[in-house]
């Protein structure tokens, strides 16, 4: 332990963010890293607490607590404090395939389980991690690791999101020959087109992809396996196949007027903006524009917030975010103790920006859409909302959501974005490989396994476990790689 009293001497200091009215002028990342000495101070706050819940990575009360990758957080925090960043980076890369992704988009499960946060503020684990991986790239430490010996085995990975990339990276380093198939025009999956540029600039992804290519991973884009490319041919030419296509079947809102023009799924809205931004800096106009429109976003999660931030950058006239659930408390409730994930209200970057532009929080709680209102040409003009209240079914005892009579309101709206989550994978890829789906339309496997019902076909990520976090997808990819390696070689040293 380098600084036994660090957590007593220093307060939590986070990287500064550009002011909302300044950062909405572009789609760039907007955090300003701390200096070297400040970063050492923040790392020194790690308590060497004996039982590091930060790296526990277990489900508690249906939610993940601690890092799913079991990152060796106290070890590399101590090394950062001592100025031994190269050794710290080595420890980080032992468990995390892509720290440059998790340190930007992960909700920091580690910090929510930090012992220092029980009575004080947690250690800045996420920012410390980011400082390590960026140091590694800046100093030329992230060089291609080309296997000295190849196994002669070929693995096809279908999907290039975080799970697919993690599986490909792990298996390639093990010595297998890996080809990744991506149906879009750029690899990266969710990372490339599902997460806005201001949260994860795309040159960060491209930097990692170039490194993986130098190590021997092959990427095939515009490859819609099961449609434009034969699944059977891939299976015949490969010794193993991993399906990692995500949970990309969006949940719809089926109510009166749903056929109105101007209603889009959030994922389509975000993808179109990012693609146009990368292709032309938005000059080609090939995106769903929110400019001068009243925007209503249905859904209160991260995707909904991303839609808020993107709509503000487009120059929307107004933005409203509808959430079915009640507002969470500002502090942990008594029935939500540490180290459980804190169920508290969080105002994210997009909501901060909407407040700065329009003067109020865009979120309306316990509200849903009752009708989409359109004009005589079929264009969306407004949304009728209704308030919700919770009750209990007298027969089953289950909680119910009921409309509040007389609570209907009309909200002007020319653009509605549905960010209500996902219902599992798009089944045609699994069907093409003969992989069975479960009741939640995820690819079915035995508990604790990534092997599907079809010989030599495996699965990983959201396609396996349902919609989740990037950090869990990376863990899924690494675990699936271990299963595949054991299948191919009869044993594995990847666990």
pLDDT tens figures, 280-307: 999 999 999 999 999 999 998 899 999 9
| HEC assignment per residue over 322-337 | ECCCCCCCCCCCCCCC
Is residue 180 a contact partner of residue 160, using CB atoms and an 8 Å limit?
A: yes
* Ramachandran class of 198: left when φ > 0, alpha when ψ lies in -120 to 50, beta otherwise: alpha
What's the pLDDT tens digit per position in 151-161?
A: 999 999 999 99
The residue count for the chain = 495
The answer as to whether 171 is a domain residue is yes
Instruction: Give the per-residue pLDDT at 90.
Output: 98
pLDDT per position as a tens digit, 193-221: 999 999 999 999 999 999 999 999 999 99
Instruction: Give yes or no for a cis peptide into 339 (omega within 30° of 0).
Output: yes
Q: Is the pLDDT of residue 394 over 90?
A: no
Number of domains in the chain: 3
Can you tell me whether residue 30 is helix, strand or coil? coil
Domain span including residue 231: 154-248+423-489
User: Are 277 and 309 within one domain?
Assistant: yes
Single pTM value for the model:
0.96
Same domain, 306 and 431: no
Whether residue 280 is found in the same domain as residue 228: no
Domain boundary among 371, 394, 418: 418
Among the three residues 138, 168, 188, which one is the final residue of a domain in this structure? Answer: 138
Residue closest to 128 by CA, chosen among 94, 81, 170, 169? 81
Q: Is residue 495 part of a domain?
A: no
Answer for the pair 125, 92: CB distance below 8 angstroms, yes or no.
Answer: no
Whole-number Å distance between alpha carbons of 88 and 95 = 12
| pLDDT reading at 371 higher than 70 | yes
Q: Which CATH number belongs to the domain containing residue 182 in this structure? A: 3.50.50.60
Q: How buried is residue 338: exposed, middle or buried, by Cβ count under 10 Å (0-12/13-18/19+)?
A: middle
User: Is 343 part of any domain?
Assistant: yes
- Does residue 233 fall inside a structural domain? yes
Is residue 2 pLDDT above 70, yes or no?
Answer: no
SS3 313: helix
pLDDT digits (tens, 9 = 90+) for 309-318: 999 999 999 9
Q: pLDDT for 119-128, tens place per residue? A: 999 999 999 9
Mean pLDDT calculated for residue range 412-436: 95
User: Rounded distance, CA 100 to CA 73, Å?
Assistant: 15
CB proximity list for 337: less than 8 A, separation 6 or greater: none
Domain-terminating residue out of 418, 448, 463 = 418
Are 127 and 19 in the same domain?
yes
**Going by DSSP bridges, is the β-strand pair 240-243/218-220 parallel, antiparallel, or unpaired?**
unpaired
């Amino acid at each position: 332990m380098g600084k036994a009293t660090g957590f007593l001497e220093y307060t939590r200091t986070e990287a500064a963010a550009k002011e909302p009215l300044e950062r909405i002028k572009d789609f760039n990342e907007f955090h300003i890293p701390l200096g070297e000495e400040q970063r050492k101070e923040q790392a020194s706050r790690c308590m060497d607490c004996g039982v590091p819940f930060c790296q526990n990575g277990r489900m508690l009360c249906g939610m993940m607590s601690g890092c799913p990758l079991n990152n060796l957080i106290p070890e590399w925090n101590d090394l950062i404090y001592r100025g031994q960043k190269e050794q710290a980076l080595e420890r980080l890369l032992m468990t995390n395939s892509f720290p440059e992704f998790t340190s930007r988009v992960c909700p920091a499960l580690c910090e929510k389980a930090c012992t220092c946060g029980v009575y004080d503020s947690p250690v800045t684990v996420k920012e410390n991690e980011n400082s390590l991986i960026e140091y590694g790239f800046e100093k030329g430490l992230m060089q291609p690791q080309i296997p000295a010996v190849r196994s002669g085995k070929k693995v096809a990975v279908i999907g290039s999101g975080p799970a697919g990339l993690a599986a490909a990276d792990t298996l390639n380093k093990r010595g297998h020959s890996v080809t990744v198939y991506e149906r879009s025009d750029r690899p990266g999956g969710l990372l490339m087109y599902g997460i806005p540029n201001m949260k994860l600039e795309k040159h960060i992804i491209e930097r990692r992809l170039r490194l993986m290519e130098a190590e021997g991973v092959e990427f095939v884009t515009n490859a819609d396996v099961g449609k434009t490319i034969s699944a059977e041919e891939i299976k015949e030419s490969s010794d193993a196949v991993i399906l990692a296509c995500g949970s990309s079947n969006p949940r719809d809102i089926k109510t009166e007027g749903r056929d109105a023009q101007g209603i889009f799924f959030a994922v389509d809205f975000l993808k179109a903006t990012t693609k146009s931004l990368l292709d032309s800096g938005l000059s080609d106009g090939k995106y769903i524009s929110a400019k001068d429109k009243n925007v209503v976003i249905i859904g209160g999660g991260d995707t909904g917030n991303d839609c808020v931030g993107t709509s503000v950058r487009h120059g929307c006239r107004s933005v409203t975010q509808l959430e079915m659930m009640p507002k969470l408390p500002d502090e942990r409730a008594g029935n939500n103790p540490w180290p459980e994930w804190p169920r508290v209200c969080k105002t994210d970057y997009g909501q901060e920006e909407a407040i700065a532009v329009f003067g109020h929080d865009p979120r309306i709680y316990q509200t849903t859409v009752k009708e989409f209102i359109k004009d005589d040409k079929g264009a969306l003009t407004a949304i009728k909302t209704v308030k919700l209240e919770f009750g209990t079914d007298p027969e089953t005892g289950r909680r119910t959501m009921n409309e509040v009579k007389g609570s209907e309101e009309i909200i002007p709206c020319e653009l509605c974005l549905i960010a209500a989550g996902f219902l599992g994978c798009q089944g045609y890829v699994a069907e093409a490989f003969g992989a069975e789906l479960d009741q939640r339309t995820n690819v079915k496997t035995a508990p604790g396994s990534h092997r599907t019902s079809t010989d030599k076909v495996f699965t990983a990520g959201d396609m396996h476990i349902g919609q989740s976090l990037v950090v869990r997808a990376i863990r899924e990819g690494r675990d699936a790689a271990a299963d595949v390696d054991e299948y191919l070689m009869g044993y594995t040293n990847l666990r």
